[in-house]
Structure 1
Amino acid sequence: MKRNLILLTVLLAALSSFSAEYFVDATRPDDTGAATSWATAKKTIQAAVNLTVNGDTVWVTNGTYVLSAEISVTNAITIRSVNGPEATIVDGNGVFGCFSLNDSACTVSGFTIENGQQGVRCADTTPVVVNCVIATNRADFASGGGMFRGTAQNCIFRGNEASDGGGMAEGKSYNCTFIGNVANPFGGAIGANGYGGGQYGGETYNCLFIDNTAGMLGCTIAFGTAYNCTFISTSCVDVYRSVVYNSVFSPEKSANAGSEFYSSCASDLINGVNGNITSTPLFVDEANGDFRLQSNSPCINWGNNSVVSNATDLAGNPRIVEGTVDMGAYEYQEIVGLADSDVDGINDDWERQQGGNQNPGATCSNGVNSILQAYIAGLDPKNPQSRFQMVADKSPASDNILRWNATSGRVYSVYFSTNLLNGFQPLETNIPWTAGAFTDTVHKVDGQGFYKIGVELK
């Protein structure tokens, strides 16, 4: 009896883990088929969804599926097209939302979702939409024309409108592209009451924003957080009440009140503050839509690794190549081999430690040395007390012993002159930093003399 009970338990567990597949074909005459094969496929997606339980998959083949009602999903299922968004279209007919995914742990993959009163609607960020084109949807007097909440991965949001976010609102977007979405009191990309042309609220990672607009403020994003994004526009690239990390703006960000920028590149940021730079990002071909970085871009290896969560960039390539993440949505994939990417004589890592790109000719806090001199000498440019100093002592044998504050990675030279008008002559060169001192046994009997210490990067 006990053995039978155990066998029955195992059998029930196996049955409960079984997942079914259902099939949908727009060319079928109706929904009377069992949907268990292509020969018995349903005509509508909703009819197949209604058969599912958690873990099932609905396969949808080529065709345009014009809706007479919004597709509602409540189970943890996968709805997947056979041949991708170019061949499989869900059309809201200008009247209905396309997908209502509620809070289910479902996945919708490989569709063009268009012409809906909201493309995708979710209760939270649990549902996932993957490899979809979400286009020309509207959300009149509502949030998220393309998508409200949910999580979008590798999607294109194009030409959506809403009063509170045309492309996406209050969701998460990973490796997505937002093109030509509009936020205004009657529609927008991601915005509230005309705020945020690209995305309103939520979080966006490794995304590209091109020519999104807003009726009020925040053409790209508003009230959101962006990580490693690239923002492009010929008219408006502003960010409203958002926090931005590791991102690139062209031509500039035109930031409004309440926005914060860290390790980002834009011409109207403050160079060196919070790791930001103001250099031109140097895209491969901005005029023709290639926003990858050139090999000499100042954005290479200039981001902040602590806020990186994606393993890949927008193109699907490794997100970090040389130990430090690049700014923007695209990671440069070659080894640049340059410790000084902006060719100003100062190592990139040192500049990064000082808060970002430095002006080598500017005077550091000690009021004496330039930033370049501070870097070479190993000084702290922000500390007024940080100076290169030498002291001279007499040995018992009356030798002159010179000591200085040496720094690793440097070599030193000692020069001597009896008359400053005659210049200096070298006493010793290539003194390793570990020595930190030099003993002059030649000039110990001279009544007067001058020493000079030279320092070079090793």
Structure 2
Amino acid sequence: MPTDSLDRKATFTLPDGLEIFGGFSGDEMQRSDRDPVRFPTILSGDIGVSKQIDDNVYHVVTLIDATDGVSVDGLWITDAQNDRPEELGRGGGIYAVRSVLRIRQCTVTRNMALGGGGLWNEESMIDISYSTLSDNENRAVHNNNSKLTIRETIIESNRNTGHEGGAIFDSHGSATTAVDCVFVSNHSQSEGGAVFSLGTSVYVNCVFRGNRCGDYGGAFFQWAGSLTLTNCTFADNWVRNFFGGGVSSIPKPTIVNCVFWGNRSPRGDVQRQQRSTTSAVINHSCVQGWTGSYGGVGNHGLDPRFIDFDKGDFRMEAGSPCIDAGDNAAVTSPHDLDGNPRILNDVVDMGAYESICSDVEPVRLKCPGQSKLKATLPTRLPDGGTVIFSSDADRPKSAPVRRGKAKAKWDRPPDGSEICASGCPETCRRSKCE
């Protein structure tokens, strides 16, 4: 229940075995009818004076010894302000100790703590999927001797006013596995704009874009433990001092089927600006400025030909040297970041996205009536993929590929607007019916 108390220690304490489902409007007949995006269920720490943060609660959600597991699905967890000193300042949005927590379709945002503004995990197992962790201060997640699994989640615009990771921190004894995630615009004063790890790090089909920090590892800094990167894309990350605009790693990382491009640092040649390690196991990857000094097989420094680097679209154009250039033996996920099949044309691509077509024809438009418009991408595509059709006059449409074709329908937009298709090289055509 909401509180009218001014007690900043007020919190939603979740007992072991609890399942919470949000996103209901009130007229659903069954749980599957709910819509957490349209009807968010909000757990807020904003007590006292509304929108005045210095009287907000310390922890919005608390779990202690929930060893059988707690599930939260379809919630917003927001507005914690844990500004207490030292150990009391751990955890803002969620404080979990010796617990098992499953987070699905949730948004954890605008929380602050001295450590773990979004989540503090102490000797816990956390599984996050289909969620957003954004705009948290002093990291989205702090793992202390904990295990974290993240799938199909956006980690965006989190910041650390101190050091060691803007979005995720892993202590010794911690392990993080991230699959199909996007890390964008996270910031730390130094050592890992998005991630700092002393533990075991496994990242698959992830994009790191626009992350930054002061020293070492604009996106990622692995200080100890181990680092494995498979089919990841690091682009447009930067560091203000020293090396490794994309990744810095002290232990020898294993890197397969990855792309490093357009990352920046003030020191080192172009290759060291992408990733800075004393040694590495690197194979079948594209590294800007590649010199061959790291050895390995199947590596190159050719332009990956992103569809739109400036807008952060790191899918690849037809003819990219990264298409069909990876190592199938390294693939651990059946699909790419878009949800398309991970291996097409018998050989996996480099990077987080699988190219679903090669040569592409212009979008074909038909107007079956005065108020309807149908767009078709006529190029033969592999079944099971997805094409995004977008219009500057309407919302994008996600179209599955069936029998080699992808189609979308709209209420007819004004003549002269554009219909575009992406997932292949982007093509556009004016909507005027012929």
Tell whether the structures are fold-level matches, with TM greater than 0.5.
yes
Paired residues for 1:47-446 under 5 Å: 47=13, 49-50=14-15, 52-53=16-17, 56-61=18-23, 62-67=40-45, 68-70=57-59, 71-73=61-63, 74=66, 75-81=68-74, 88-93=76-81, 95=83, 97-114=92-109, 115-117=111-113, 118=116, 119-123=118-122, 126-139=125-138, 144-148=139-143, 150-162=148-160, 163-170=163-170, 171-184=176-189, 194-201=190-197, 202-223=201-222, 224-233=227-236, 235-236=238-239, 237-241=245-249, 242-251=253-262, 254=273, 255-260=275-280, 261-270=282-291, 273-334=296-357
Alignment-mate amino acid for residue 44 of structure 2: V
Q: Hey, which bits of structure 1, 4+ residues long, moved more than 6 A? A: none
Q: Tell me the distance in 1 between the aligned counterparts of 2:350 and 2:165.
A: 25
Provide, for residues 59-89 of structure 1, a one-character-per-residue CA deviation record: whole Å limited to 9, x for no partner: 234244222242223241211117xxxxx34
Distance 1:124 1:210, change over 3 A: farther
Alignment-mate amino acid for residue 77 of structure 1: V
Alignment-mate amino acid for residue 256 of structure 2: Y
3-state SS, counterpart of residue 306 of structure 1: helix
3-state SS, counterpart of residue 79 of structure 1: strand
- Give 1:92 shift: 1.8
Q: Tell me the distance in 2 between the aligned counterparts of 1:29 and 1:173.
A: 36
Q: Tell me the distance in 2 between the aligned counterparts of 1:265 and 1:123.
A: 37
| Equivalent residues, number | 277
Alignment-mate amino acid for residue 96 of structure 2: L
Provide, for residues 31-63 of structure 1, a one-character-per-residue CA deviation record: whole Å limited to 9, x for no partner: 9xxxxxxxxxxxx9825x23x42xx42123424
Alignment-mate amino acid for residue 187 of structure 2: V
TM normalised by structure 2 equals: 0.58
Q: More strand by proportion, 1 or 2?
A: 2
- Give 1:172 shift: 2.0
Alignment-mate amino acid for residue 228 of structure 2: T
Q: Tell me the distance in 2 between the aligned counterparts of 1:258 and 1:123.
A: 32
3-state SS, counterpart of residue 297 of structure 2: helix
Select the structure of larger CA radius of gyration.
1
- Give 1:122 shift: 2.1
Asked if the contact 2:204–2:230 (Cα under 8 Å) also holds between the matched residues in 1, the reply is yes
Asked if the contact 2:128–2:151 (Cα under 8 Å) also holds between the matched residues in 1, the reply is yes
Asked if the contact 1:103–1:127 (Cα under 8 Å) also holds between the matched residues in 2, the reply is no
Distance 1:72 1:94, change over 3 A: closer
1:372 is aligned to: none
Alignment-mate amino acid for residue 19 of structure 2: T
Asked if the contact 2:237–2:246 (Cα under 8 Å) also holds between the matched residues in 1, the reply is no
Asked if the contact 1:246–1:327 (Cα under 8 Å) also holds between the matched residues in 2, the reply is yes
Distance 1:29 1:222, change over 3 A: closer
Asked if the contact 1:210–1:233 (Cα under 8 Å) also holds between the matched residues in 2, the reply is yes
Asked if the contact 2:304–2:322 (Cα under 8 Å) also holds between the matched residues in 1, the reply is yes
Identical-residue share of aligned pairs (%): 25
Distance 1:317 1:125, change over 3 A: farther
Provide, for residues 327-353 of structure 1, a one-character-per-residue CA deviation record: whole Å limited to 9, x for no partner: 1010112367xxxxxxxxxxxxxxxxx
Distance 1:45 1:132, change over 3 A: farther
Give me the CA root mean square deviation.
2.8
Provide, for residues 259-318 of structure 1, a one-character-per-residue CA deviation record: whole Å limited to 9, x for no partner: 523211022223584321111001122222221111211111111222221112111111
Structure 1, gaps ≥5 residues long: 1-25, 32-43, 83-87, 185-193, 337-458
Q: Tell me the distance in 2 between the aligned counterparts of 1:269 and 1:198.
A: 24
Alignment-mate amino acid for residue 12 of structure 2: Q
Deviates more, 1:202-211 or 1:327-336: 327-336
Asked if the contact 1:121–1:150 (Cα under 8 Å) also holds between the matched residues in 2, the reply is no
Structure 2, gaps ≥5 residues long: 24-39, 46-56, 84-90, 171-175, 240-244, 264-270, 360-434
Provide, for residues 242-267 of structure 1, a one-character-per-residue CA deviation record: whole Å limited to 9, x for no partner: 43221112225523232523211022
3-state SS, counterpart of residue 291 of structure 1: strand
- Give 1:94 shift: 5.7
Alignment-mate amino acid for residue 78 of structure 1: S
Comparing both chains, which one has the higher relative contact order based on Cα–Cα distances under 8 Å and sequence gaps of 6 or more? 2
